[in-house]
Amino acid sequence: MTNTEARPIYLDYQATTPVDERVMDAMTPFFTQAFGNPHSTSHSYGWEARDAVEVARQQIATMINADPREVIFTSGATESNNMAIKGVGRFFAGRKNHMVALKTEHKCVLESIKYMQRHEIDVTWLDVNADGLVDPDTVAAAIKPDTALVSVMLVNNEIGVIQPLAEIGAICRDRNVYLHTDAAQATGKIVIDVQAMNIDLMSLSGHKMYGPMGIGALYVRRKPRVRFEPLMDGGGQERTMRSGTLPAPLVVGFGKAAEIISQDLDQEAARIRNLRDRLLKGLQQRIADTFVNGSQNQRVMGNINIGFRGVDSESLMNALKDYVAISSGSACTSTSVEPSYVLRAIGLSDLDAHSSVRMCVGRMTTAQEIDQAIAAISNAVEKLRGAGLVTNAASVAG
Ligand SMILES: *Cc1c(COP(=O)(O)O)cnc(C)c1O
């Protein structure tokens, strides 16, 4: 704690979140005391771990208005996305050979669908509008008689926009097509209701919602029943859908994180929205020539994706590295010098994409931090512009 002052202000809650202290406290005994294998059926060590896992399953189910039997624990949203897309693709191979997905999906969805494309699945890649949203009509028009799966993310990890999933869900149910959604960025930010939204498969991630890394879930609808082929062969855990020993301490933490969200969402959303608006207004007041990427209304409360004309985002992040932790695009692709494919998909030029950064306010952010961040960012932008350090996008993109 003594070090906190010296550390950069964390505004990258869409890359990951710290584990909430209440989550940490819930997990600790399951590492050292109640350490049993939740699949051991012959003694109390196993039973207590199993009981704790089932409490967590109920906590996750409550958060999304599901039946606990529909919650399958995985290692994270990457695994859940692979499981849903490849699992449905393989189950229906030869009968339903078409899938639909957005061009702005997370890398692990894009790559899983491209994998199916190499295995004789025909794919319709949907464009989004300039605000980052897809029209439900565009989804409806893409569905064919042999469509097995529509995959539309609930909240985008770069620009924070919220897709009209309830409308898309109604269309998919009507046309008898599975709807999968990557909701890793939605938990703890908006209310998720798998019934109201007619979701059939949904991917969740612990570390995006103040739980631990290495745990996630796939929601799998029971009525009407969703069929897919499991990725993992083994002991048949998780109703044979996902073999492997469940990491009980992580499952417990994930469940606790969900319980906190179910209790506190409204209050937390209002507080974070205020801080985000303070940050955005502060930046816009102090800095000329800015632009905001993605819909302003259909957007989660913590996210900002903002461009500073004439400033290269890599130089900006470098100038800020001791003061504010922000990112350009997603953590998974930020090692590449290619401009963000999400920003390209909403129509930005390479130059504008290379001038844009993502900031995300979260549970631990304070008003004081926001004011310090505004000062640090506006100083850095001013210095970079003054030094004539204009964007070098042309050279890096070439
Ligand atoms: C972080 C993230 C993932 C990957 O989740 P992991 O649990 O880290 O595998 C998938 N999709 C989206 C939208 C994400 O933000």
Interval 181-194: pLDDT, tens? 999 999 999 999 99
pLDDT at 338: 83
Phi, psi dihedrals of residue 130, rounded to the nearest 5°: -65, -20
Q: For residue 388, report the distance from its CA to the centre of ligand 1, in Å.
A: 37
Task: State percent of the chain over pLDDT 90.
Answer: 92
Among 3-17, 91-105, 149-163, 361-375, the range scoring the smallest mean pLDDT is 3-17
Residue 335's pLDDT band (cuts 50, 70, 90): low
Is the pLDDT at 54 greater than 50? The verdict is yes
Average of per-residue pLDDT across 288-293: 98
What token pair was written down for 335? 């090692």
The domains located in the chain, with CATH, are 9-18+265-393 (3.90.1150.10), 21-261 (3.40.640.10)
Mutation to probe ligand 1, out of 154, 157, 192, 333 (largest number of atoms < 8 A from CB) = 157
Is the pLDDT at 222 greater than 80? The verdict is yes
Which residue is closest in CA terms to ligand 1's atom 9? 78
Tell me the one-letter amino acid at 172.
C
The sign of the torsion formed by the CA atoms of 380, 325, 282, 366 equals: negative
Is the pLDDT at 287 greater than 60? The verdict is yes
Q: For residue 347, report the distance from its CA to the centre of ligand 1, in Å.
A: 24
Which residue is closest in CA terms to ligand 1's atom 7? 76
Residue found under tokens 């970079």: 384
Which residue is closest in CA terms to ligand 1's atom 10? 77
pLDDT tens digits, 5-23? 689 999 999 999 999 999 9
Which secondary-structure segment (H or E) carries 274?
Answer: helix 248-286
Average of per-residue pLDDT across 308-325: 96
| DSSP E strands, 194-299 | 201-205, 216-220, 290-292
Q: Residue 325, Cβ neighbours under 10 Å: how many?
A: 18
Report how far residue 309's alpha carbon sits from residue 290's, in angstroms, rounded to the nearest whole number: 6
pLDDT tens digits, 22-39? 999 999 999 999 999 999
pLDDT at 290: 98
Q: Is 267 exposed, middle or buried (0-12, 13-18, 19+ CB in 10 A)?
A: exposed
pLDDT tens digits, 343-397? 999 999 999 999 999 999 999 999 999 999 999 999 999 999 987 645 444 433 2
Residue pair 59/53 in contact (Cβ under 8 Å)? The answer is: no
What token pair was written down for 119? 């295995």
CB 202 near ligand 1, within 6 Å: no
Radius of gyration of the chain from its Cα atoms, rounded to whole angstroms: 22
What token pair was written down for 25? 């406290």
pLDDT at 396: 32
DSSP string, 188-203: TTS---TTTTT-SEEE
Report how far residue 398's alpha carbon sits from residue 395's, in angstroms, rounded to the nearest whole number: 5
Q: For residue 78, report the distance from its CA to the centre of ligand 1, in Å.
A: 6
Region of 214 (left: φ > 0; alpha: ψ -120 to 50; beta: rest) is left
Closest CA to 205 of 132, 258, 148, 147: 258
pLDDT at 329: 64
CB 185 near ligand 1, within 6 Å: yes
Average of per-residue pLDDT across 218-237: 96
Which secondary-structure segment (H or E) carries 24?
Answer: helix 21-27
| Angle between helix 367-386 and helix 313-320 axes, rounded to 10 deg | 120
pLDDT at 66: 98
Mutation to probe ligand 1, out of 109, 165, 203, 208 (largest number of atoms < 8 A from CB) = 208
Residue 269's pLDDT band (cuts 50, 70, 90): very high
pLDDT at 394: 40
CB 112 near ligand 1, within 6 Å: no
Report how far residue 53's alpha carbon sits from residue 60's, in angstroms, rounded to the nearest whole number: 11
Query: Does residue 332 have an active-site annotation?
Result: yes
pTM over 0.85: yes
Q: For residue 313, report the distance from its CA to the centre of ligand 1, in Å.
A: 23
Which atom of ligand 1 is least distant from the CA of 108?
Answer: 10
Which atom of ligand 1 is least distant from the CA of 15?
Answer: 1
Report how far residue 357's alpha carbon sits from residue 311's, in angstroms, rounded to the nearest whole number: 10
CB 106 near ligand 1, within 6 Å: yes
CB 208 near ligand 1, within 6 Å: yes
Average of per-residue pLDDT across 276-294: 98
Marked catalytic residue, from 108, 172, 332, 360: 332
Prior bond of 339 cis (ω within 30°) = no
Residue pair 239/224 in contact (Cβ under 8 Å)? The answer is: no
Which atom of ligand 1 is least distant from the CA of 208?
Answer: 1
CB 205 near ligand 1, within 6 Å: yes
Report how far residue 121's alpha carbon sits from residue 34's, in angstroms, rounded to the nearest whole number: 46
Residue 45's pLDDT band (cuts 50, 70, 90): very high
Residue 336's pLDDT band (cuts 50, 70, 90): low
Give exposure, 149-174, as e/b (b: 16+ Cβ within 10 Å).
bbbbbbbbbbbbbbbbbebbbbbbbe
Give the residue with greater pLDDT, 330 vs 286: 286
